[in-house]
Every structure is written in C-alpha cells, then in structure tokens.
Amino acid sequence: MAERERAAAPPYGGVFVPRTRVMGPDDLRRAVTRIAHEVVEHNHGLEHVIVIGLQTGGVPLASRLAEVLRDIEGTEVPVGRLDVALHRDDIGIRPVMPEAPTDIPFDLTGEVVVLVDDVLFTGRTVRAALDALNYYGRPRSVQLAVMVDRGHRELPIRPDYVGKNLPTRRDEMVSVTRDGVELGEVRRTR
C-alpha cells in the first residue's frame, strides 16, 4: 500500500510504468498456498487465527489466503480489513487519505492476528497497523504476511511469511495485482 499511496498522492502525482514482471498469476497462487501452509504449521492449526488485510492492497490477498486456509483445514477463518491512514506517523508531513473504511467486527483480544499486505517497504504502514490494532483489543500475537518484501526498512519490523524477497532501489515501485507482481518506476506527472 505504501508505494501506491505515495505515488498516487496529489502533490507527487504519477503513473506506474512497469519494467519487469517478477511473478505471474501462477507464482502468486503458489505463494499464497505456501504461506497458508506455513500459517497452519506455525500456529498448529487455525484455532483463534484471524486474517486482517491492510487497505487496499492487502485486502484481496487476505481473502485469497482465507480461502486457501479453508481448503486446507476445512475451517472458516474470520477476515477483517484495516485502514491505517488515521494512525500513520507522517500525517501533516505528506498527504494521507483514508482509502476505505476499516471492517473488524470482532474483538481481537486473545486472538492470533495475521496481518496481510501486498508489499513490505519501510515498515511504517505495519507500525501504524500495530497501533490501530490496539483499538480493537489485545491480540495474543500478531504475525505479518506480505507478498513482496522489498527491503529498505526504517523500523525494526520483519515479516513472518513472505511470498518473495525482491531487492529493489528506493525509487522503484512494486505493483501487486491479481495478475502478478511487477517492478517498475513511477513516472511523475507533475
């Protein structure tokens, strides 16, 4: 989410120009399947596991992960959506805009929350997410699943489940869609 937000925010304004396709739709599917198995293995099943996708890029991945988890274990995993905009640490420094409402209709106290996002970059979105989760209860543990870890962390945050580690330059951009993962640049429009 971080990339897209940064790129689409009004004063930056830009369009994503893809350069390389890093993962195709099948790669994406296999990665989700592997992550699902890792989640089940790591937590010895799915009891108390809740999947929460970060608005907006993490939301479709969270639903896909929950579907695969259901196929593997035969249990329905609660799925939530979290928008971290109001908890960011760069409000007032750069444009921040809520993308879509949060939807977490359950108490998180005592649960195991698997946060899902498309790209892990500086870690600031995840920090904001950890802050936001406090307002919904006190999870027993929080785990982080991302499709792409592109490095350049600015905070002591690491993912528990990774689709792909992708070395990038800071000024590059990673786009995750249903069709796969692309690496490219943002061309400024102003």
Binding site for another protein (CB under 8 A): 11, 83, 85-87, 91-98, 100-103, 107, 131-132, 135-137
Nearer to another protein, 93 or 189 (CB): 93
Residue partners of 90: CB distance under 8 A and separation at least 6: 96, 124
Q: Which two tokens stand for residue 6?
A: 């940064």
The distance of closest approach from Cβ of residue 89 to another protein in the complex, given in angstroms and rounded to an integer, is 9
Nearer to another protein, 55 or 168 (CB): 55
The distance of closest approach from Cβ of residue 93 to another protein in the complex, given in angstroms and rounded to an integer, is 5
The distance of closest approach from Cβ of residue 179 to another protein in the complex, given in angstroms and rounded to an integer, is 27
The distance of closest approach from Cβ of residue 62 to another protein in the complex, given in angstroms and rounded to an integer, is 17
Q: Are 116 and 53 in contact (CB under 8 A)?
A: yes
The distance of closest approach from Cβ of residue 138 to another protein in the complex, given in angstroms and rounded to an integer, is 11
CA 114/CA 121 separation, integer angstroms: 18
Nearer to another protein, 25 or 98 (CB): 98
Nearer to another protein, 15 or 91 (CB): 91
Nearer to another protein, 84 or 146 (CB): 84
Q: Which two tokens stand for residue 24?
A: 């195709």
CA 56/CA 5 separation, integer angstroms: 10
